[in-house]
Structure 1
């Protein structure tokens, strides 16, 4: 007797799946930064509420302190200046899919070289313009050379630049500490003597004699340098062959090689430029703000610059307002309790940015799958 088989009907279950986007809609690319910022503020508000703070009061007071007066804008500009320069630096590497995580170390080395010229390697009566020019070049070269090491290791040996650039950051901090507690120390304290006045970047308040409304505005000329670099870099990406080649290699290294682009040279050049701008940020900070080299003169500008660059989608012009946003976050949090709000919000933003990048590259689809 022939056996009979019964085919049971398949059941379909509701499920989620993640698939890569074939293309990114323009509206999504434009709105993503605003959506991410809004999401970060909402999550931050929830965390503030959980610790017993009123989110609306906290945010309102932070905005008032950072942007509610000329002096608030001045303080925010001081914080934004190194964030713009370092953010531009890491964005250069990120465009070519090189993960320069060591901007903080490059910033420290740039500050160290600039300090050497300000205090020891140039005559103290050097004209201010020449002194600042040499300090800026020295800061750029110092940061560039610090990024040269992971760049060469990546280009020649394919060693992961994330590890090397990050570990060199701690070497740079320890190198800085050796000099400020040793040969360059001021009476044994963890800082150097103060720079001579000709090694200070001009501050807005220096011109209050001719322009009284600038009295007490301590923002310095480094902001003009940062804005000029942002515009220049935008032109490079949009109008030059070199910028186009960096984009091509970042999108498809093999296609770049087939087109005759020298991959190793580009890697080294991009890392040098990336580290150089971070070093320039260090020079601007010690020359324009603290006027000496000291321990912890940077509250993590090099690391925060990574978030700034990603939130700005690596756009040089967009990095400026994003850096001001984070500068305001740092300034506003100084007068806010509970302590540590700025770091908490930065962590929330980083988490949201990473998650948002995932949603930009992939999409979640709801569908039914067959099951027996």
Structure 2
């Protein structure tokens, strides 16, 4: 049986994902050609739709903001030795937290107080929803993959019940809350730019993009620059060795899952406070599951996750444009491309590693290592 190839860090983090992405694009191009479309035309229109205009860039960044949150959520849990598939439910509960606080307080508090409270509520509700499976894993041995999947369904049912029976706006047939007061609306980027004299098209992109950047930086600092982060990664890498070194894994498992849930909960800030201005059902729309792919492609590192989130944001936005530009091109083709990227970045991530390692050695790499 062949042994796994140990690539240099820079190749494992940067080059291998790029090669896997290129392979996925080549395979997708072949499939596109087989169904009667021109691969280069499709790729060109996808890139143009995602980055070819101010509106396209804004929508790409808007989608990427959500994927940064969910990708970081998966990565933090992964470094603690857990596989969190509950980002969807944690994001839903985060939206519930932000929405409940806004409905209760937005008519009485200024934006300077209201918006931070919504951020804290979204993170807090998500943290609780992620921490419970973490506690069940730590003290009862319940596998987080199973419990987080189940908690997705519970979260959806809880929010659905509340929107139908408790929070629905009177006289509105749609199961959604009343609109928040202006103090609970996160400013759009186009509004901020307009204040300094820059014209920008109105899009859903809002200031939560800055929150996503801050979250990525804080996760990097917490995991790689603090003693707690070192302990968490030690538990994820080898729980037995961590215990031998004096680290107690149970509390760290709960902490990792709670932090993971808090990050996923911030999706509610982007969607509920930044876009909809009211609590609505199904605002997550699969972003929690997409975060798994984003984290895999980003090699569970905040920098890689930001880049992977931009890639998926471009796929979402560019795919929408393709449906308008090319007759007969459906969103299913975009989902196929996403699936291939996940396949080559996840299950087949190491397929290209031996060839890359041989090329690296042939070029003289590692002679002094």
Structure 2 equivalent of residue 350 of structure 1: 342
Structure 2 equivalent of residue 240 of structure 1: 226
Q: Secondary structure at the match of 2:85?
A: coil
Using the TM superposition, give the Cα deviation of residue 258 of structure 1 relative to its aligned residue in structure 2, in angstroms. 0.8
Structure 1 equivalent of residue 161 of structure 2: 178
Structure 1 equivalent of residue 147 of structure 2: 164
Structure 1 equivalent of residue 261 of structure 2: 275
Using the TM superposition, give the Cα deviation of residue 123 of structure 1 relative to its aligned residue in structure 2, in angstroms. 4.8
Q: Give the Cα–Cα distance (whole angstroms) in 1 for the partners of residues 242 and 227 of structure 2.
A: 13
Structure 2: runs of 5 or more not aligned: 324-328, 356-369
Q: Give the Cα–Cα distance (whole angstroms) in 2 for the partners of residues 226 and 47 of structure 1.
A: 34
Residue by residue over 1:49-102, the C-alpha shift from the partner in whole angstroms, topping out at 9 and shown as x without a partner, is 222222211111111111111221111111111111111111101112200010
Structure 1 equivalent of residue 78 of structure 2: 94
Q: Secondary structure at the match of 2:2?
A: strand
Q: Of 37, 40, 52, which aligns to 1:68?
A: 52
Structure 1 equivalent of residue 100 of structure 2: 116
1:36 maps onto 2:6 in alignment: no
Q: Secondary structure at the match of 1:357?
A: coil
Call closer, same or farther: CA 1:253–1:209 in 2, change over 3 Å.
closer
Q: Secondary structure at the match of 1:212?
A: coil
Using the TM superposition, give the Cα deviation of residue 238 of structure 1 relative to its aligned residue in structure 2, in angstroms. 2.4
Structure 2 equivalent of residue 205 of structure 1: 190
Call closer, same or farther: CA 1:324–1:20 in 2, change over 3 Å.
closer
Q: Give the Cα–Cα distance (whole angstroms) in 2 for the partners of residues 27 and 49 of structure 1.
A: 34
Q: Of 38, 41, 52, which aligns to 1:54?
A: 38
Using the TM superposition, give the Cα deviation of residue 204 of structure 1 relative to its aligned residue in structure 2, in angstroms. 1.7
Q: Give the Cα–Cα distance (whole angstroms) in 1 for the partners of residues 264 and 271 of structure 2.
A: 11
Contact 1:101/1:303 (<8 A) preserved:
yes
Structure 1 equivalent of residue 364 of structure 2: none
Tell me the TM-score normalized by structure 1.
0.88
Structure 2 equivalent of residue 316 of structure 1: 302
Structure 1: runs of 5 or more not aligned: 1-16, 364-372
Q: After superposition, where does 1:197-346 map in structure 2 within 5 Å?
A: 197-218=182-203, 219-337=205-323, 338-340=329-331, 341-346=333-338
Using the TM superposition, give the Cα deviation of residue 348 of structure 1 relative to its aligned residue in structure 2, in angstroms. 1.3
Q: Give the Cα–Cα distance (whole angstroms) in 2 for the partners of residues 262 and 117 of structure 1.
A: 35
Q: Give the Cα–Cα distance (whole angstroms) in 2 for the partners of residues 150 and 211 of structure 1.
A: 46
Using the TM superposition, give the Cα deviation of residue 222 of structure 1 relative to its aligned residue in structure 2, in angstroms. 0.3
Using the TM superposition, give the Cα deviation of residue 298 of structure 1 relative to its aligned residue in structure 2, in angstroms. 2.0
Q: Of 125, 130, 140, which aligns to 1:142?
A: 125
Contact 1:24/1:360 (<8 A) preserved:
no
Contact 1:307/1:350 (<8 A) preserved:
yes
Q: Give the Cα–Cα distance (whole angstroms) in 2 for the partners of residues 360 and 247 of structure 1.
A: 27
Q: Secondary structure at the match of 2:3?
A: strand
Q: Give the Cα–Cα distance (whole angstroms) in 2 for the partners of residues 297 and 117 of structure 1.
A: 17
Residue by residue over 1:294-320, the C-alpha shift from the partner in whole angstroms, topping out at 9 and shown as x without a partner, is 222122111111111111111112211
Using the TM superposition, give the Cα deviation of residue 198 of structure 1 relative to its aligned residue in structure 2, in angstroms. 1.1
Q: After superposition, where does 1:187-198 map in structure 2 within 5 Å?
A: 187-198=172-183
Number of matched residues? Answer: 346
Using the TM superposition, give the Cα deviation of residue 290 of structure 1 relative to its aligned residue in structure 2, in angstroms. 1.9
Query: Which has the higher Rg, Structure 1 or Structure 2?
Result: 1
Contact 1:88/1:274 (<8 A) preserved:
yes
Residue by residue over 1:121-171, the C-alpha shift from the partner in whole angstroms, topping out at 9 and shown as x without a partner, is 215131002111111111001111111121011101221110110111111
Call closer, same or farther: CA 1:293–1:344 in 2, change over 3 Å.
farther
Residue by residue over 1:190-234, the C-alpha shift from the partner in whole angstroms, topping out at 9 and shown as x without a partner, is 322222221111112223443332432432110111101111211
Using the TM superposition, give the Cα deviation of residue 189 of structure 1 relative to its aligned residue in structure 2, in angstroms. 0.7
